[in-house]
Structure 1
Amino acid sequence: MKNTAMQARLDTEILDFVASRKTLQLASIDENGLPFSSYAPFAIGDDCIYVLLSEIAVHGINLMVNPRASALVIEDEDTAEILFARKRVNYQMCVENIEYQADGWDLGIQTLVNRHGEISANLSQKEDFKLFRLIPERGRYVKGFGKAYSFSGDSLTGDVLDHMRDGHVDRKTSAA
């Protein structure tokens, strides 16, 4: 269980960073086990992430077939000081397809509407659009070289947060 001031500060950093982005990179897996990457607008609610995807789109099909995904929320290239060390949060997630007007539907759609406007409400009325709840299981927060943290648990910041100390090592060179 987290109890240090540093962990509380990192929780806030992670949540603030994720909330500052409007889209995420989404990796899904097809019926043959092949990965597919895409992106989606998202909203945060109930310590999870909501996305509204068409079942016509490859990522929508994949999430219905295989309810596992990875989501990457990453700093814009244009604002990153070092492209090799862009700030990012990566989540391994369990995916729940929330059926139209089932428990959780209104909350998920309203969360998306609050963040992205009426387009979310309009799309939710199309039969091919499905609401997915992405539930974190574990993740990694990287905020620069030597500043990486892993976490686990079913929240956007996890229950356990560990500084990853297995850093970069210089190659050994042979003397001539």
Structure 2
Amino acid sequence: MSSERFTRKINQEVVDFIHSRRSLQLASIRDDGAPFASYAPFAIGDECLYVLISEIAVHARNLLANPLASVLIVEDEDSAEELFARKRVNYLMDAEKLQEDSPEWKTGVDTLHQRLGERILNLSTLGDFKLFRLIPREGRYVKGFARAYQLEGKTLAGEAVNHMRDGHRKREA
């Protein structure tokens, strides 16, 4: 398979996998520098993910103070063939808070509404809910043992895909 065709195949797998999930794991950084993990339902935008989070939640306050985040979208363990090699994609992302009166806010809320339903329309009217656009810096797609790929570029599927061939090694006796 040609390199270009291989990249397109992995790109499509990543996009299909993201579309198959409805929530993501979100790691943010607290004021004291400690990591904090949570989750949020999400929608897929133009090379970004949208999350609507109450500022009452720790992860929203963390993103407002420090917009660097890590996102993990992972296969359900109940349906995984191998618990130790669940299909997943993770990203290092920049979180951008969107202004309530902006066209970007409307696009994000509409995108979330189409994907997640009516509740988004109610939550988006509450003043404590903030809409974040999560923009990838880089990513990694893992579809099993010895099948891990670095996603380079600021896109969800990766502008370039590199098979990570340096893998597991046996311990020396």
TM-score range, shorter chain: over 0.9
User: Does the residue aligned with 1:158 lie in a helix, a strand or coil?
Assistant: coil
Q: Partner letter of residue 151 of structure 2?
A: F
Aligned residue number for residue 128 of structure 1: 128
What is the CA-CA distance between 1:132 and the residue it aligns to? 0.1
Aligned residue number for residue 83 of structure 1: 83
Aligned residue number for residue 92 of structure 2: 92
Q: Which runs of 5+ in 1 are unaligned?
A: none
User: Does the residue aligned with 2:14 lie in a helix, a strand or coil?
Assistant: helix
Aligned residue number for residue 27 of structure 2: 27
> Structure 1, residues 14-71: CA drift from partner, whole Å, max 9, x if none?
0000110000000000111110000000000111000000001000100000001000
- Normalised by the size of structure 1, how large is the TM-score? 0.95
RMSD, aligned CA: 1.1
- Distance in 1 (CA, whole Å) between partners of 2:103 and 2:122 is 19
User: Does the residue aligned with 2:103 lie in a helix, a strand or coil?
Assistant: coil
User: Does the residue aligned with 2:78 lie in a helix, a strand or coil?
Assistant: helix
- Distance in 2 (CA, whole Å) between partners of 1:10 and 1:66 is 31
What is the CA-CA distance between 1:3 and the residue it aligns to? 6.1
- Distance in 1 (CA, whole Å) between partners of 2:21 and 2:63 is 22
- Distance in 1 (CA, whole Å) between partners of 2:8 and 2:144 is 19
- Normalised by the size of structure 2, how large is the TM-score? 0.97
- Distance in 2 (CA, whole Å) between partners of 1:114 and 1:103 is 16
Aligned residue number for residue 43 of structure 1: 43
User: Does the residue aligned with 2:170 lie in a helix, a strand or coil?
Assistant: coil
What is the CA-CA distance between 1:139 and the residue it aligns to? 0.6
Does residue 155 of structure 1 match 2:150? no
> Structure 1, residues 71-107: CA drift from partner, whole Å, max 9, x if none?
0000000000110000000000011000112230010
Aligned residue number for residue 113 of structure 1: 113
Aligned residue number for residue 57 of structure 2: 57
Please say if residues 64 and 97 of structure 2, whose CA atoms lie closer than 8 Å, have aligned partners that are also in contact: yes
Please say if residues 94 and 137 of structure 2, whose CA atoms lie closer than 8 Å, have aligned partners that are also in contact: yes
Give the number of equivalent residue pairs: 172
Q: Partner letter of residue 51 of structure 1?
A: V
Q: Partner letter of residue 74 of structure 1?
A: V
What is the CA-CA distance between 1:171 and the residue it aligns to? 1.2
Alignment of 1:10-25 (within 5 A): 10-25=10-25
User: Does the residue aligned with 1:104 lie in a helix, a strand or coil?
Assistant: helix
**Bigger radius of gyration among the two:** 1
What is the CA-CA distance between 1:125 and the residue it aligns to? 0.2
Aligned residue number for residue 167 of structure 2: 167
What percent identity do the matched residue pairs reach?
55
Q: Partner letter of residue 105 of structure 1?
A: W
